[in-house]
């Protein structure tokens, strides 16, 4: 039997599939941002990517089943596979991560808090932090709850803009539809946030960074996916020097 022990380094669990492209994007960024000069310098990772997890926004709106059983099943598998902590590259799923952590005993990294802290560092006095997110994230007040702890001003788009611009753009990424139009919609929503006083905007849905090029030319953009990557690296590799 081989004497190889792949548990000598901390292992990150990725609880993904929400959506699949966003999960792949998270892992790509994790590899890209890891300070490693060889294959062996990267983190061990185990991934559970189940696209059948019920829609998080639909559940929060009372229009679909709870995703909690599926999330708990995935987190338990990750823990059994050796994960020391779990990253969930889906902002809206963070409405349920406290339940997942309680049910499984595994640490779940705080994507929302990490993104808001990153935005606060780029917004003078923590004022004018715009948020582009799903209706589910807004309904659960995930960024408002984090705001209350950090003392940051959070600005959301009006409901009309959410329905006409943000929601269709997110759906387009998940459906593999016209990403050019989706990017234009996110840019239009960002322009409205700017008019409402935003000085920085958080791409608070992991689909949005994939279509945020034009939006980033309007306001400094904080990528919630990158914020989660940085939280994972800080937790498992230590703070950047």
85 is catalytic: no
Please state, in angstroms and as integers, the Cα–Cα distance from residue 181 to each residue in 170, 173, 187, 212, 217, following that order: 11, 10, 10, 11, 16
Cα distance between residue 204 and residue 59, in whole Å: 18
Residue 161's pLDDT band (cuts 50, 70, 90): very high
Domains 12-110+227-237 and 111-224 share a fold: yes
pLDDT digits (tens, 9 = 90+) for 66-119: 999 999 999 999 999 999 999 999 999 999 999 999 999 999 999 999 999 999
pLDDT on residue 28: 96
Residue tagged active-site, from 12, 22, 90, 114: 90
- Dig out the tokens for 161 from the structure: 């803009």
Strand order in the sheet with 12-16: 45-49, 12-16, 85-87, 107-108
pLDDT on residue 124: 82
Domain ranges of the chain: 12-110+227-237, 111-224
- In this model, does residue 130 exceed pLDDT 50? yes
Class of domain 111-224: alpha beta
Class of domain 12-110+227-237: alpha beta
205 is catalytic: yes
Residue 241's pLDDT band (cuts 50, 70, 90): very low
Taking the CB of residue 68, how many other CB atoms lie within 10 A of it? 18
Residue tagged active-site, from 142, 188, 205, 215: 205
């Amino acid at each position: 039997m081989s004497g190889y022990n792949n548990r000598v380094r901390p292992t990150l669990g990725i609880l993904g599939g929400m959506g699949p492209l966003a999960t792949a994007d998270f892992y790509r960024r994790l590899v890209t941002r890891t300070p490693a000069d060889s294959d062996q310098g990267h983190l061990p990772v185990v991934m559970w990517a189940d696209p059948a997890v019920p829609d998080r926004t639909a559940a929060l709106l009372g229009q679909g089943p709870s995703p909690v059983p599926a999330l708990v099943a995935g987190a338990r598998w990750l823990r059994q596979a050796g994960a020391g902590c779990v990253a969930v590259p889906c902002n809206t799923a963070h409405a349920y991560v406290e339940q997942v952590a309680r049910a499984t005993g595994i640490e779940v990294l705080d994507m929302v808090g990490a993104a808001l802290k990153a935005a606060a560092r780029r917004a003078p006095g923590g004022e004018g932090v715009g948020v582009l997110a799903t209706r589910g994230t807004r309904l659960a007040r995930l960024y408002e709850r984090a705001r209350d702890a950090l003392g940051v001003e959070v600005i959301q788009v009006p409901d009309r803009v959410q329905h006409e611009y943000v929601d269709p753009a997110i759906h387009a990424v998940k459906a593999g539809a016209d990403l050019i139009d989706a990017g234009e919609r996110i840019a239009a929503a960002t322009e409205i946030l700017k008019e409402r006083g935003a000085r920085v905007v958080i791409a608070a849905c992991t689909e949005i960074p994939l279509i945020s090029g034009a939006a980033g030319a309007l306001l400094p953009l904080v990528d919630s996916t990158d914020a989660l990557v940085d939280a994972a690296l800080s937790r498992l590799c230590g703070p950047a020097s």
